[in-house]
């Protein structure tokens, strides 16, 4: 992997003029209003994140990943109405030969344009962790299960726990006073001052008033034993995309993804049913059965 040198970061993100300090007054200002240029605002946000060890590492890794797709971090990181990492899986096949499928994924990182600098920096660290470390998944595979999706979303490499721990590192490195006062980061700090991933995992499965709903889902599917940390205790973390605790948000995301997969597979099946020379009817029938099984599973959820 190619790494960005710290010297390169200084030259890429340097701007003539004022330098933003990490003080309470400046950190309370909205980051996207730093200048009329969104690109310059994003560069300033990256420069500030690079002042800490965790931020520098994330930026180096993210820059290397962006270059693999012929992009820069300025192409990948944008201002948005919410903070999220948007990954699009592109499926390519020719209508005359729909059995041969190629897949390609592209990601964009969005930081909520309405946040103050401090919150924006923490969100950027969070989303860059997803961007850099999240393992790609292919929902078109037969083993795309709800159990694996919930587990990877929360506990997996680049998942929500990993991203939260990154936030805590950045907060401690850049905002020491706020870190001391932060209750969530404090809950996962051990006696040696490190962060306990195990404690963080437990917190993410606290679903509060949604416990009965989530318990019903895992019980009906026979997967409750895969989620021993599921608790009715007060929710600590809520998905901004769905407004739900992360386990339930993962369920909703799974359903959304499968619904789209079902729609796309039916379109592909229609091309296959038109027939072309050399295509075996058995392969079409096998694919039809798999599509119907997948789509039936969606209606049962």
pLDDT digits (tens, 9 = 90+) for 227-247: 999 999 999 999 988 999 999
Provide the mean pLDDT of the chain.
83
Q: What is the predicted pLDDT for the residue at 278?
A: 54
Q: What is the predicted pLDDT for the residue at 91?
A: 64
Count of CA atoms in the C-beta half-sphere (13 A) of 104: 7
Q: What is the predicted pLDDT for the residue at 119?
A: 95
- Find, among 62, 70, 57, the residue nearest to 42 by Cα: 62
Q: What is the predicted pLDDT for the residue at 281?
A: 66
Q: What is the predicted pLDDT for the residue at 235?
A: 94
Flag whether 164 is in a domain.
Answer: yes
- Find, among 120, 114, 104, 154, the residue nearest to 134 by Cα: 154
Flag whether 207 is in a domain.
Answer: yes
Flag whether 254 is in a domain.
Answer: yes
* Number of domains composing the chain: 1
What are the structure tokens assigned to 95, written together? 């209508």
Q: What is the predicted pLDDT for the residue at 295?
A: 76
- Mean pLDDT, residues 213-220 taken together: 96
Flag whether 37 is in a domain.
Answer: yes
Q: What is the pTM of this model?
A: 0.82
On the 0-12 / 13-18 / 19+ scale of CB atoms within 10 A, 142 is exposed
Q: Which runs of consecutive H residues, i.e. helices, occur in the chain?
A: 6-13, 24-27, 38-49, 53-68, 73-76, 117-133, 146-155, 160-174, 176-181, 183-187, 197-204, 211-220, 246-274, 281-300
pLDDT band at residue 14 using 50, 70 and 90 as cut-offs: very low
Tell which wins on pLDDT, 2 or 154: 154
Tell which wins on pLDDT, 11 or 15: 15
Residues 56-69, buried b or exposed e (16+ Cβ, 10 A)? bbbbbbbbebbeee
Q: What is the predicted pLDDT for the residue at 279?
A: 55
Rounded CA separation 147/228 (Å): 12
On the 0-12 / 13-18 / 19+ scale of CB atoms within 10 A, 135 is exposed
Flag whether 229 is in a domain.
Answer: yes
Please say if the pLDDT value at position 174 is more than 60: yes
Inter-residue contact 99 to 109 (CB < 8 Å): no
Inter-residue contact 76 to 62 (CB < 8 Å): yes
- Mean pLDDT, residues 1-25 taken together: 41
Percent of the chain with pLDDT strictly greater than 90: 59
pLDDT band at residue 84 using 50, 70 and 90 as cut-offs: very high
Please say if the pLDDT value at position 9 is more than 50: no
* DSSP conformation class of 244: E
Sheet architecture: strand order including 77-80: 77-80, 97-112, 84-94
Q: What is the predicted pLDDT for the residue at 265?
A: 78
Flag whether 2 is in a domain.
Answer: no
Flag whether 8 is in a domain.
Answer: no
Give the Å distances, CA to CA, from 36 to 32, 33, 41, 74, 220: 8, 7, 8, 16, 52
Q: Which of 50-64, 100-114, 199-213, 284-298 has the lowest average pLDDT?
A: 284-298
Q: Which domain holds residue 88?
A: 31-300
Flag whether 5 is in a domain.
Answer: no
């Amino acid at each position: 992997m190619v790494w960005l040198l710290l010297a390169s970061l200084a030259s890429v993100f340097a701007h003539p003029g004022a330098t933003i300090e990490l003080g309470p007054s400046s950190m309370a200002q909205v980051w996207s209003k730093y200048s009329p240029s969104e690109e310059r605002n994003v560069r300033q946000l990256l420069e500030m994140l690079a002042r800490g060890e965790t931020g520098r590492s994330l930026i180096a890794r993210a820059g290397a990943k962006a270059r693999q797709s012929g992009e820069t971090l300025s192409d990948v990181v944008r201002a948005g109405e919410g903070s999220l990492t948007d990954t699009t899986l592109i499926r390519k096949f020719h209508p005359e030969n729909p059995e041969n499928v190629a897949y390609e994924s592209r990601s964009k990182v969005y930081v909520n344009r309405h946040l103050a600098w401090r919150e924006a920096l923490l969100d950027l660290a969070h989303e860059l962790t997803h961007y850099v470390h999240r393992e790609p998944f292919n929902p078109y595979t037969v083993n795309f299960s709800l159990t694996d999706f919930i587990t990877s979303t929360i506990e997996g490499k680049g998942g929500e726990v990993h991203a939260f721990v990154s936030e805590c590192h950045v907060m401690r490195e850049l905002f020491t006073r706020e870190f001391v006062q932060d209750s969530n980061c404090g809950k996962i700090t051990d006696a040696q001052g490190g962060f306990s991933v195990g404690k963080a995992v437990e917190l993410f499965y606290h679903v509060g008033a949604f416990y009965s709903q989530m318990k019903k889902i895992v019980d009906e599917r026979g997967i409750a034993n895969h989620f021993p940390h599921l608790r009715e205790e007060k929710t600590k973390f809520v998905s901004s995309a769905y407004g739900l605790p992360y386990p339930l948000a993962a369920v909703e995301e799974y359903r959304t993804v499968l619904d789209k997969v079902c729609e796309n597979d039916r379109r592909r099946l229609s091309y296959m049913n038109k027939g072309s020379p050399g295509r075996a009817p058995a392969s079409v029938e096998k694919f039809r059965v798999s599509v119907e099984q997948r789509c039936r599973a969606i209606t049962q959820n």
